[in-house]
Amino acid sequence: MYKNNNVLVSGGTGFVGSNFVLELLNRGAKVLVPVHNRPLSVWDDSVWDFVDLIQADLTYKEDCLHAMKGIDYVVHAAGAVTAAQVTTTNPMDAIATNLILTLRIIQAAWESGVERFLVLSSHTTYPNADYPIKESEMWSGDTAEPYFGYGWMRRYLERLGEFVASKSDMKIAIVRPTAAYGQYDNFDPATSHVIPALIRKALEKQDPYEVWGSGDEVRDFINVKDMVRGGLLMLENHAVCDPVNLGSGQAVTIRDVVDIILRLTDHHPKVVYNNDRPTTIPIRIVDTSKAKELGFEAEISIEQGLQDTIEWYRRNR
């Protein structure tokens, strides 16, 4: 489906977006990436030879409309960082940025006659649950308290997608990924998520080695390459505004992740779990049976994914 078609990837210089760009290029797509106040040194320069770049501020409708000219499909991967510290200390920034970006981009796609649109939603839409939660359970309760603002924003954007699909011919796919990690992740100490933060500390040989939280938090981490495969599959085969969980199907504790990272980096520090630092909820795992029925299953184990990410960061830091 993607070969020779024009695909716009919003957020194409970021963590998730860059991985979508690379996979789409591999599939023969013609990829357009809007760029605004972002350095182009994210990748090896040769990659940019195969990507069309356009200067655009996607918070402005006119820029979005200009970027949409001739576009067949949109992968909407632009958004604000939502690490635990950011969510705790400055939640409105992430909410406002994501709302404005998505409203402008989906409106421009609608008005420009874009055929297909991928909404990257989030596991933060779900209420608290200590078991693998199904897509249909999103409305069974309020979002988990730490995700209250952000999760409800994501719920609204899913409904917005349903509204646009009901009023137009645009086919919209919605996926709810678990916490992604992998190549091109954000390793900035101020805004990084848990896995890149732990990898950076290990490669810097920090001792003591501080871990936020108790270490007993349970997560389903998905490698970004798997997430991209799942997202593109749903955009191709399930663009019917029916949300699909994308996860590894493997529950791990943060303590498990710490142990693997320290072993893979040959680092033997004193590990200090700090419950006074920001974390979110104790358990977040999702049911992936619908994705499997639709032909998607994660292929990269947590150990292999961490090994690949460590090697990538060693080469690129």
CATH number of domain containing 28: 3.40.50.720
Amino acid 44: pLDDT: 60
For the chain, the domain total comes to 1
Q: Is residue 34 part of a domain?
A: yes
For residue 70, give both structure tokens: 């001739």
Angle at 194 between CA 188 and CA 196, to 5 degrees: 50
d(CA 182, CA 313): 9
* Mean pLDDT value across the chain: 93
When pLDDT is averaged across residues 188-213 and rounded to a whole number, the result is 95
CB contact at 8 A, 234 and 169: no
Distances (CA, A) of 117 to 32, 78, 100: 14, 13, 17
Instruction: Specify if 194 maps to a domain.
Output: no
Structural domain range at position 23: 6-181+221-248+285-299
pLDDT at 42 over 70: no
How much is the pLDDT for 55?
A: 94
Taking the C-alpha atoms of residue 62 and residue 111, their distance in angstroms, rounded to an integer, is: 11
**pLDDT of 40 over the 80 cut:** no
Closest CA to 309 of 193, 150, 136: 193
Identify whether 255 is part of a domain: no
Burial code (b: 16+ CB inside 10 Å, e: under 16) for 23-53 equals bbbeeebbbbbbeeeeeeebbeeeebeebee
- pLDDT surpasses 60 at 83: no
pLDDT band of 65, cuts 50, 70, 90: very high
Residue 16 lies in a domain: yes
Report yes or no on 37 lying in a domain.
yes
Helix or strand or coil: residue 220?
A: coil
Give the span between the Cα atoms of 276 and 282, in whole angstroms. Answer: 14
Q: How confident is the model at residue 49 (pLDDT cuts 50, 70, 90)?
A: confident
Euclidean distance between CA atoms 17 and 66, whole angstroms: 20
Question: pLDDT band at 190, cuts 50/70/90?
Answer: confident
Angle between helices 224-237 and 15-26 (to 10 degrees): 60
| Residues 6 or more apart whose Cβ sits within 8 Å of residue 139 | none
Asked whether residue 205 is domain-assigned, the answer is: no
| Res 82: pLDDT | 57
Q: What pLDDT score was predicted for residue 130?
A: 95
pLDDT, tens digit (0-9, with 9 covering 90-100), for 109-151:
999 999 999 999 999 999 999 999 999 999 999 999 989 999 9
188: in domain = no
Q: Are 130 and 217 in contact (CB under 8 A)?
A: no
- The whole-model pTM stands at 0.94
- Asked, for residue 151, whether it belongs to a domain, the answer is yes
Each residue's pLDDT tens digit, 230-278? 999 999 999 999 999 999 999 999 999 999 999 999 999 999 999 887 6
